[in-house]
Amino acid sequence: MPDFRAGTEDGIRIILWDVPGRSMNVLGFEGLAELAALVDEALADPAVTGIVLTSAKPDFAGGMDLAAFSGLRARGPAGIFAGVMAMHALLRRIERGGADPAAGRPAKPVVAALTGTAAGAGYELALACHRIIAADGARVRIGLPEIRVGLFPGAGGTTRLSRRLGAMAAAPFLLEGRMLAPAEAQAAGLVDEVAPAAALLDRAREWIRTARPADLVKPWDTRGWKMPGGAPYSPEGFMTFVGASAMVNGRTQGCYPAARGLLAAVYEGALVPFDVALRIEARHFTAVLTDPTAEAMIRTLFLNREALEKGAVRPAGEPDRSIRRLGVIGAGMMGAGIARVAAEAGIAVVLIDSTPEAAAAGRARLVAATEAEVARGKLDAARRDAALERITPGAGPAALAGADLVIEAVFEDPEVKARVLAEAAAAAPEAVIATNTSTLPVSGLAAATGRAERFLGIHFFSPVEKMALVEVIRGRATGARAVATALDFVRQLRKTPIVVNDARFFYANRCIIPYVNEGVRLVAEGVAPALVENAARALGMPVGPLQLIDETSIDLGVRIARATRAATGAAYPDAAVDAVLFPMAAEGRLGRKAGAGFYDYDARGRRTGLWPGLAARFPRREAAAAEVRDRLLLVQVLEAVRALEAGVLDEARAGDVGAVLGWGFAPWSGGPFAWIDRTGAAAVAARAAALAARHGPRFAPPGRLVAMAASGARFYPD
């Protein structure tokens, strides 16, 4: 079965994209060849007056088939370049509408009729057409998300969009991968018009019938064309390109070859004629695709993330466990957040707290919080109202009756938790019960429910509405039904689950705490706090360890330290960290919420700089930036390996997805395990051993890493 088929109505050739066996069209090499044959045939056929490129599916296309990228990469740089140039040649034939001035053959109009979402190469194909008409629809998104998986638009999209909109206006789409709904896409100039879905093809045909010859020549193919917003050597262009370069390098710290390649392609392309610009785009794209960053990011952020979302580790044979009615205990920050995302996913929610008033107040805070989002235009008022309607504050545990799932998010106190869990188990005998605890062992809490096989951890991250990762924690006795229920619930929320086994701090917190602690240790050693923060950012961490502890609060750090010390006794390894944190907490420097922590803050809560008091307390010592960086990186990576070794993680895949989505671990690397593969286990083990000799056993390479170093094994096949 082909990916494309064609028919003719009143002289207009309709090319339908319809990849068999897939809900969303993707572009692969066979499909591309079919499309080329159909386009060339239609352009050459004198009976055809115009072409509509559309889809037989509810959406237009999701972009390149990512599996095709591995095929392309296997061809080596020359093969990649040739493949990309062949694609450019086809899109250029579409763009010229088959015109041949020498033979006196005029251009034929080609319209892209987008039935729904058009992303990546799907939208790049549309950009080559003479007119882009998008069908309206609530879920439709249009744009170029390639940058999010370490690539940039390489099918002419970079060159075309920067010329269509100007470099400045194209930046949010090219550099950030922003996707827009049809009306916004039209306002931003991504599409030419929006039509009701039922009228889409009629509009396309009508445009073909009324198109004038000038409509069939792209602006950049006309004489005297100038880049909108200014070419690089113009006063406006100078501002744009210098500013963009500074902004991109500041944000990416040079960690992302795709951002650099994209900027270079736009800048260099803007200085030369269109066809040369396409060659330049193809060269930079080839370099980016052969860099290991793209491969690692595609694997972790696309392929593996999608596999986990689609239930790769869901227990076999479990029926659909989708949640219709959710109970949430604790209407605080996390409980209210969980109630909100569930309600937004269409689930009826009962929210209870210690009193009916507290539950109502939790819901009222959600109304207030979303009010600001509505005012800023980030949230549609009607949709917000419909979602919050689904949240009913309950008077007490009896309100949980009939829930499929109950999630507990009360104070982090084992006694309080045990009490509410027992009440929930009695009130909702059919429900699976879950805890959102971040530190208490799930297997211990299970006893209170009297049905440990239907109890587990569903650990959300804060803020719940923003964070994509959810850790599903299997207690010692947790059964398949509970795991399936949690995974089906996470899928309803459109979040990404990883399933981990029960152990202190589970997975993400287990790795992030050593990162924060290493930052604090460096400060205690007298390393300039600015160097600590900058070294972390140079690694591609979204926030430095000192900023992170200020955000999460220093008293929380102190509470976790006290609990860890109580649990580990004489083996407690973090006294050096406590020596910094405890006095700060005692002085009221609790972090952002107190307006004072490792940073100072102004009256509006904005950081004004690192607290100078640190220098007085910890005499300055010179330190090599590379060593600071390695300590901050390895302390996380080694902990991830230990989590795998200890069986907290079942597989590297979940560890990589969890690291990037859960705590922002250097996304360019594709995660700690992908980073070890890229660096080589032997090199990582040697570096760890050297750091252990200087800084202590927390850097000692775990046995698994040592074994991999000896055998040359990898976490992922080469």
Selected from 353, 404, 578, 677, the binder of ligand NAD by CB under 6 A is 353
- 146, 281, 423, 471: the active-site residue: 146
Is 225 a binding residue for ligand NAD by CB under 6 A? The answer is no
Among residues 34, 95, 124, 639, the one annotated as catalytic is 124
Question: Which residues share a beta bridge with 327?
Answer: 350, 406
Binding of ligand NAD by 356 (CB under 6 A): no
Count CB atoms within 10 A of the CB of residue 538. Answer: 16
Kindly tell me which residue out of 437, 449, 501, 547 binds ligand NAD, with binding defined by CB under 6 A. 437
Comparing CA positions, the residue from 301, 412, 248, 323 lying closest to residue 662 is 301
- Cβ closest to ligand NAD, residue 125 vs residue 424: 424
- Minimum CB–partner distance for residue 422 and ligand NAD (Å): 11
Candidates 234, 253, 322, 354: give the one binding ligand NAD (CB under 6 A): 354
Residue 395 interacts with ligand NAD (CB under 6 A): yes or no: no
Pairing relationship of beta strands 391-393 and 193-195 according to DSSP bridges: unpaired
Cβ neighbours of 588 (radius 10 Å): 12
Our CA dihedral for 541, 546, 552, 553, rounded to 10 degrees, sits at 180
Terminal-to-terminal C-alpha distance of the chain: 32
How far is C-alpha 506 from the geometric centre of its chain's CA atoms? Answer: 22
649-676 core/surface letters (b: 16 or more CB in 10 A; e: else): beebbbbbbbbbbbbebbbbbbbbbbbb
86 binds ligand NAD (CB under 6 A): no
Which H helix or E strand runs over 500? strand 496-501
Which tokens in the block code for residue 36?
């080329």
Asked whether 639 and 510 are in contact (CB, 8 A), the reply is yes
Q: Using CB atoms, what's the residue nearest to ligand NAD?
A: 332
* Residue 416 interacting with ligand NAD (CB under 6 A): yes
**In the complex, what is the shortest distance from the CB of residue 662 to ligand NAD, in angstroms, rounded to a whole number?**
11
Q: Does 411 bind ligand NAD (CB under 6 A)?
A: yes
Q: Is 124 a catalytic residue?
A: yes
Q: Is residue 252 a contact point for ligand NAD (CB under 6 A)?
A: no
The region of 65-73, 172-180, 350-358, 525-533 touching ligand NAD under the rule CB under 6 A is: 350-358
335 belongs to the binding site for ligand NAD (CB under 6 A): yes
Angstrom CA distances, 651 to 187, 610, 645, stand at: 45, 39, 10
The question of whether 146 is a catalytic residue gets the answer yes
Residue 490 found at the interface with ligand NAD (CB under 6 A)? no
Among 334, 399, 532, 659, which residue interacts with ligand NAD (rule: CB under 6 A)? 334
The answer to the question of residue 358 lying near ligand NAD (CB under 6 A) is yes
| Choice between 294 and 328, CB closer to ligand NAD | 328
Question: How far apart, in whole angstroms, are the C-alpha atoms of residue 373 and residue 377?
Answer: 6
* Cα–Cα distance, 27 to 34 (Å, whole number): 11
Q: Strands of 131-135's sheet, edge to edge?
A: 4-9, 12-17, 50-55, 110-114, 131-135, 193-195
Taking CB under 6 A as the criterion, the residue among 117, 293, 438, 636 binding ligand NAD is 438
In whole angstroms, the minimum distance from the beta carbon of 376 to ligand NAD comes to 23
User: What is the smallest separation between the CB atom of 408 and ligand NAD, expressed in angstroms?
Assistant: 8
Output the smallest distance, CB 509 to ligand NAD, in A.
Answer: 8
Q: Is 51 in the site for ligand NAD (CB under 6 A)?
A: no
Catalytic residue positions?
124, 146
Residues that bind ligand NAD (CB under 6 A): 329-335, 353-354, 358, 409-412, 416, 420, 436-438, 460-462
